[in-house]
Amino acid sequence: MSPFEHGECFVLDDGGETDLDLGNYERFLAVMLGSDSNLTTGKIYRKVIEKERRGEYLGKTVQIIPHITNEIMARIEAVATLPVDGSQEPPDICMVELGGTIGDIESMPFVEALRQLQHKAGPRNFCLVHVSMVPTVGPEPGEHKTKPTQHSVKELRSLGLAPDFIVCRSKDRVSMPTREKIALFCNVPAERVLSLYDVPNIYRVPIEMLDRNLDILISEQLNIRTYRGDDDDMSEKDSPDWTKKNTAMTSALKLRSDSGFTHKWKDMVQRMEGAQNEVVIALVGKYMAQADSYLSVQSSLHHACIANDCRLKLVRIDSELIGSGDEASWAMLRSAHAILVPGGFGDRGTAGKVAVIQYAREQKVPFLGICLGMQLAIIEFARNVLNITGATSSEFDPTAVGTAKEAIIFMPEGSKDEMGGTMRLGSRATTLSEGSLAHRLYGSLTIHERHRHRYEVNPALVPKLEAKGLRFSGVDDTGMRAEVVELDDTSPDGHPFFFGLQAHPEYKSRPLQPSPPFLGLIRAAVEAKV
């Protein structure tokens, strides 16, 4: 998936490289998903072909129906039993997102598989929520048009699926008469046609859905007992009104309890929306044409700002532009209270990033470097402090291999012949030095973060870098691979916050559990502003 076209690639604990949507699910639901949660056409076809080659179909003609659709159903049913919240208990509900648009050629086998799965599971064990765009036409305030929704539901019904709920995505609130019209023509009860309009804060969306009783309505559809009463009042459970329609289920009670998840979530949203202190963070990268190219990084910054009671103003700076000396880009950088250089691949735009890192180090602007950002911090230090002319990475300059200027090397266990499937991926253990900035940020000497890289710091260069004040405060489980780098922040003339990781901490940040490096960066930015 190209970050220029599709947004970021999200990495899971088990090393799965997936669509960024799985990152949204992990962040919003506080779950840990695996590669099997990302079901693609390629995976399905490969599995069916492998089975055919092994003779599992006993010489039968392999077809889309039943072989492909059966495999899709089998994979969904298998994933539905996998624990995702650390409890080792299977989930009560498995949510499946079928992306794209109804009628897309690519999704047809999946639509048919879901139709068969609905038939197999039964209507009380299957709930279909159809999300449909409701455009606004005409001058303000405009008129909501229902025809696209009517046609999409008609197409969906022609494929054997009928929605139980319709969620109307729109710029502003869809009126009740319009929702009633959709209900009439789409054969869905009016209370199950919900308006989900644009809100300034995406973290408010779950609250909006709770306010519309979506959790209760879905529970009724699935015949799951749901509790409707005061948040923590369980006395009603023994009353005659404790009926099948409005009675309690563990997960719904957990959601609606003020001592539980919803209360914390609402408090988080209120803090986010009520924050007055604004910090400016410069994000310097080369994938700036796509808003979602650094989605997890941006989300992590928001999480850390919430915890620090401040509001984020993100300044996106194209590394190629700033590398060319663009004065407007440099002006934006100088306005920032902190700087972040995220991960990436290739040498394009690296000159600008190195210049930005030098500025952050010399001007003592709080800095966080992630993956390639950390590697470029090593290169900058080697060039400008160790005076190694042309210090670089063998990724950018293959002729540097084996020379004194090779600051970043290709990992020995990697393969240079095949680009696919050769990266160091997934959650890895890192051991931190006691008393280091990293140790203070994480509060632990052993951490687990997700990785996605082929290159590492040249071990031969580490002693020279440390002799000049660059501290390597984290190593992998072998003790040989440098994973974390920092500058001294304890002395009066030290740097307030200069921190780099080979890992991608943004993948494990959550709204209610911000990533420690991002917390440190925002805290330093707040202090720098003062």
Is position 372 within any domain?
A: yes
Alpha-carbon span 14 to 6, nearest angstrom: 22
Alpha-carbon span 523 to 338, nearest angstrom: 10
DSSP, residue by residue, 383-413:
HHTS--TT-EETTT-GGGTTSTTEEEEE-TT
Q: Which residues are catalytic?
A: 371, 504, 506
Is position 338 within any domain?
A: yes
* 114, 135 Cβ separation under 8 angstroms: no
Distance (Å) of CA 459 to CA 15, 389, 410, 464, 505: 25, 18, 11, 10, 23
- The pLDDT assigned to 418 comes to 52
- Residue 297's closest CA among 13, 518, 35? 518
Alpha-carbon span 368 to 489, nearest angstrom: 14
Higher confidence at residue 397 or residue 249? 397
pLDDT-derived band at 421, boundaries 50, 70, 90: low
Is position 257 within any domain?
A: no
pLDDT-derived band at 284, boundaries 50, 70, 90: very high
What CATH number has the domain bearing residue 373?
3.40.50.880
Quote the strand ranges of 90-231, DSSP E.
129-133, 136-137, 143-144, 165-170, 193-197
- The pLDDT assigned to 229 comes to 44
Digit-coded pLDDT (tens) for 33-53:
999 999 999 999 999 999 999
Distance (Å) of CA 473 to CA 343, 368, 469, 527: 20, 15, 12, 23
Average pLDDT, rounded, for the chain: 90
Higher confidence at residue 144 or residue 260? 144
Which residues constitute the domain of residue 346? Answer: 277-410+454-528
Higher confidence at residue 384 or residue 419? 384
* 308, 523 Cβ separation under 8 angstroms: yes
Is position 487 within any domain?
A: yes
Q: Once rounded to an integer, what is the mean pLDDT over residues 392-415?
A: 88
* 481, 475 Cβ separation under 8 angstroms: yes
Alpha-carbon span 171 to 186, nearest angstrom: 21
**How many angstroms from the chain centroid is the CA of residue 73?**
26
Q: Is the pLDDT of residue 419 over 70?
A: no
Q: If DSSP codes are grouped into helix, strand and coil, which group holds residue 75?
A: helix
Distance (Å) of CA 500 to CA 45, 479, 485: 40, 17, 5
Q: Is the pLDDT of residue 249 over 70?
A: no
pLDDT-derived band at 417, boundaries 50, 70, 90: low
Output the CA angle 177-179-185, nearest 5 degrees: 105
Is position 33 within any domain?
A: no
Q: Once rounded to an integer, what is the mean pLDDT over residues 135-159?
A: 93
Q: How many domains does the chain have?
A: 1
Is position 69 within any domain?
A: no
- The pLDDT assigned to 248 comes to 37
* 265, 206 Cβ separation under 8 angstroms: yes
Is position 102 within any domain?
A: no
Contacts of 348 (CB under 8 A, 6+ apart): 286, 320
Q: Is the pLDDT of residue 258 over 60?
A: no
Alpha-carbon span 18 to 11, nearest angstrom: 6
Is position 486 within any domain?
A: yes
Pairing of strands 165-170, 193-197: parallel
- The pLDDT assigned to 251 comes to 45
Contacts of 250 (CB under 8 A, 6+ apart): 92
- The pLDDT assigned to 492 comes to 81
Computed on alpha carbons and rounded to an integer, the radius of gyration of the chain in Å comes to 26
- The pLDDT assigned to 246 comes to 40
